[in-house]
Amino acid sequence: MAREALVIGGGAREHALVHGLRPYCDRVWAAPGNGGISLEAPLVDARKPEDIIRFFGERRPLVVIGPEAPLADGWADMLRLAGFPVAGPSKEAARLESSKRFAKEVMAASGIPTPAARCAHNENELLSWIQAEQRWPKVIKQSGLAQGKGVSIAGGPEEARTVVESLTGRAAVWHEGVLFEDYLQGFELSVQVVTNGREYQWLPVAQDYKRLTPDPKSPNTGGMGAVAPVLVEPALAQAINQRIFDPLMQYLQRHDLDYRGVLYAGLMISQQGPMVLEFNVRLGDPEAEAIIPIVDVNWYQFWWDLSQGMVPEVPVSGRSAVAVVMVADGYPVSPRTGMPIQLGERIESTVIFHAGTVRRGDQFESGGGRVLAVVGIADTTGEARRKAYHRVSTIVFPHSYYRPDIGQ
């Protein structure tokens, strides 16, 4: 029987998933994919699970779901019901990301440390809290999905009111709620595990770069780059398991939540120890672009095992990767599209994952904000960084921007 796989999504993370699967499959598909992905996988025009069921007829390829939105909409449940093996959590389990308010309730019930927060459902309620607040800065966070751009740090009341003004008239945001959260000091760490809701295995730890520029006050983005692996002291890793992942696994089991996928814990390592800022229910982007090229596994078997409720082994990688994201002029507010891109020369131990490109014959144009993720792979972070930026220097992409400090 032919080994087929379908990757759901259309960004650089999904390109990395396709790239990892290809050597181990007879055919890999992508839905909806993008211009660059189309060079490695035929694209399926699927806007809902029924389109996928209709397209494949009697065949049931392995499905790997990349982004959060289809998981939140229950694609994993519907495709499993139709007989597809799926790597991705159920809709109910995906609420850990689609509702930060729900995630806070889960953490409170499980004793998982997280910053204290209140959830407002209208502007006046939040403005009254801002007026009365004495301790600043505070974090204002959309409870619902916001493509990685729904978090603001307000240094004082005026900044907080400006954030509230930006949410004026957005009924869907207020319906799900806006968190008014304590600000934590420390350093951020992102830990991703593959899990069946009972056991789990760590993926290589990656550091991502959220700000648009090296200026810590620059706008938040979906991610401007990533480095993997990042070493974590054994005592800290043990504390993260005991305080966060173990009690969360117990919650998933108690409530019979179907979780077959990647769980991402965005942590703040504070004086009180590791605390959860947020959970994501899928691979991070751009962390995936740095992790997938350095993990030496059969990616088809890896995702297949996970789809069947088994936790695959994750071998220790001896390599490092640095991913540099190139974005269009105007990102993240109003990115310029339609700019021609020349990808330049091929360089050994580098790979380009397309995030927002449109293919016109043999040419590419920008079609979104984050456009390319350029990855260097080597034995050391320093050498991987050199390779990545060398490859970036060969790309002709007018008016683009990338951070100069990824992996520094």
Nearest CA to 44 out of 23, 61, 58 is that of 61
| Strand pairing class (62-65; 357-360) | unpaired
Return all residues near 187 (Cβ < 8 A) that are at least 6 apart. 268, 269
Which amino acid makes up residue 393?
S
Neighbours of 30 (CB within 10 A): 27
Give the amino acid at 63.
Answer: V
Q: What is the pTM of this model?
A: 0.95
Question: Got the DSSP string for 346-366?
Answer: --TTEEEEESSEEEETTEEEE
Q: Is 112 strand, coil or helix? A: coil
Rounded Cα distance between 191 and 186, Å, is: 16
Q: What is the mean pLDDT of each run of 10 residues along the chain (408 residues)?
A: 93 98 98 96 96 97 98 98 98 98 97 96 95 95 86 92 93 94 92 98 95 91 94 97 98 98 96 95 97 97 98 93 97 94 93 96 93 98 98 96 96
Q: What is the pLDDT of residue 226?
A: 96
Q: What is the pLDDT of residue 373?
A: 98
Q: How many CA atoms lie within 13 A of 70 on its CB side?
A: 26
Beta strands in 144-260 (DSSP E): 151-154, 178-182, 187-195, 200-202, 207-208, 225-228
Q: What's the pLDDT score for residue 316?
A: 85
pLDDT of 10: 96
pLDDT at 220 (0 to 100): 84
Q: Give residue 328's region: left, alpha or beta (phi > 0; psi -120 to 50).
A: beta
pLDDT of residue 325: 98
Degrees, nearest 5: CA angle 177-14-27: 140
For residue 23, the SS3 value is helix
pLDDT number for residue 362: 86
**Half-sphere exposure at residue 318, Cβ-oriented, CA atoms within 13 angstroms:** 0
User: Domains plus CATH for the chain?
Assistant: 4-87 (3.40.50.20), 116-182 (3.30.1490.20), 185-307 (3.30.470.20), 320-393 (3.90.600.10)
